[in-house]
Structure 1
Amino acid sequence: MVSGSATGYLIAGFAISAALVFLMLRAGRAMNILAVPNARSSHVTPTPTAGGLGFVIPLLGFFGMLYLDGLAVALAFLLGLVLVAAASLWDDLADLSAGLRFGCQTIAVALIVWQLDLPWPWYLLALTGLVLVWHVNLFNFMDGIDGI
């Protein structure tokens, strides 16, 4: 049983995320952590990057609290989040290869799907994993369109 107020967690997470994203964007400009436009970019001027940390930090706290509160599956989400966040930050700062990024995403999703212990046949679990990796990449694609 998870204690505390889910609504309270949601409101606190939103407020913390909004503040951290704002701070990360300001820090990105000040520290010159910018996505420089290239042929695949939709932006024409350098745009602050690594703002995703503003979302990751509250999620780490949220899943950490759930795990400490006795929800064992939260550890899989926590580890998966750390893996994808580290790969994403590395990619923001130094261009990670697509294969390594995909590998990190696949491992994170497999860990979570496995830990959920769903009573489904293997092919539905594999399809679920495929859809989740696709979703991570879709979100990253949309996030990569810096500036909109």
Structure 2
Amino acid sequence: MIYIILLLISFLLTYFIKNYMIKKSFVASVNERSSHTVPTPHGGGIALAITWFIGLIYLYFIGEISSNLFYALLFGAFISIVSFFDDIYELSPKLRLMVQALVAIGGLYFLGGFDTLTFGIFDISNPIFTNIFAFFMIIWFINLYNFLDGINGYAGSQAVFLALAGFVLFSGNHFLVLAVAVLGFLYWNWNKAKIFMGDVGSTLLGYNIAIFTIYYANQEATNFWIWIILFGVYWFDATLTLVRRKLNKEKLSQAHKKHAYQRLTQSGWSHYKVTNYSIGLNLVLFSIVYFVGNIFVAFILALIVLVLSMKFVDNKKAFE
């Protein structure tokens, strides 16, 4: 019953926020980085975030989430609040990065740090190395999720996939809370979007995925690679695009439209088709995780799938 209530809260909040943003003319303008052509209200992530934290607090009070995971996830409220003001006032990159760093430190503190980074044939358990790695990983996940939030349904469907995959593999009810919180928003963002998520939603989702990755890796070191595979569509595109732009000697802070999903839309694919393509790719990655017993073999197979997928995108629209 609680999940139906949360779904309705997210759905109705997104509807009211959409109307309010239109009334106040808070719309996402069309610029050189945009994949949309019509000014559209943003801030739908507010509904997602409010619903998520309501559900999270509910789970904590009925004892269905561990206290360290609860507080680490709750700490994400700071990134949502700052991102909300960034959506409205466009805060300086330095301030945003400082907040992301503080949130990363806070999240790691509540999780008790990152224990072990395993590579199968050897492990790294030095707390200085593992925690520095986890610190930068959290910041990267926050930003790459924001980078990849650009077309209708893309960021929302990715979050729903990760939440449902997490529930199937790890059984935590917090995954169901995340799924319904996003689904209520996604109704208004699917296909022809009536509202966008904004940084307030995308940065929170990136932070949550990073926290899940560390939390479950602390339970079993190989779980780290499960989350890396499941999140593969996003981190592979964002990381490869960043490397390619660096090799092209481009100014990395400059707006661009070179991510795989952007190039597919430039090739003539609709937002709907690109989002469905990503969902299909995610299902392939989940199947690899679910059916391949050795996680490192699974990672190699997933990497091959991602490389071939990027080759397909390159053939549709070359990276220039």
User: Which TM class, normalised by the smaller chain length?
Assistant: 0.7 to 0.9
Q: Are 1:130 and 2:136 counterparts?
A: yes
**What is the CA-CA distance between 1:65 and the residue it aligns to?**
3.1
**What is the CA-CA distance between 1:108 and the residue it aligns to?**
1.1
TM-score by length of 1: 0.77
Native 8 Å contact 1:35 1:92 kept in 2: no
Match of 2:27 among 13, 21, 34: 34
Deviations 1:13-47 (A, max 9, x none): 34422332232222211221111122222223221
Distance 2:72 2:94 in 1: 22
Aligned twin of 1:75: 71
Aligned amino acid, residue 63 of structure 1: L
Task: Determine what percentage of the aligned residue pairs are the same residue.
Answer: 28
- Cα 1:76–1:99 change in 2 (3 A) is same
Secondary structure of the residue aligned to 2:91 is: coil
Distance 1:127 1:15 in 2: 38
> Number of matched residues?
140
Distance 1:106 1:66 in 2: 27
Aligned twin of 2:11: 18
Distance 1:18 1:134 in 2: 29
Q: Are 1:100 and 2:106 counterparts?
A: no
Distance 1:144 1:102 in 2: 20
Distance 1:22 1:142 in 2: 23
Unaligned runs of 5+ in 1: 1-7
Distance 1:88 1:123 in 2: 29
Deviations 1:94-140 (A, max 9, x none): 11111211221221121111111146222112212222221111121
Match of 1:55 among 38, 41, 48: 48
Q: Are 1:109 and 2:104 counterparts?
A: yes
TM-score by length of 2: 0.39
Aligned amino acid, residue 38 of structure 2: T
Native 8 Å contact 2:73 2:107 kept in 1: yes
- Cα 1:25–1:142 change in 2 (3 A) is farther
- Cα 1:143–1:23 change in 2 (3 A) is farther
Secondary structure of the residue aligned to 2:34 is: coil
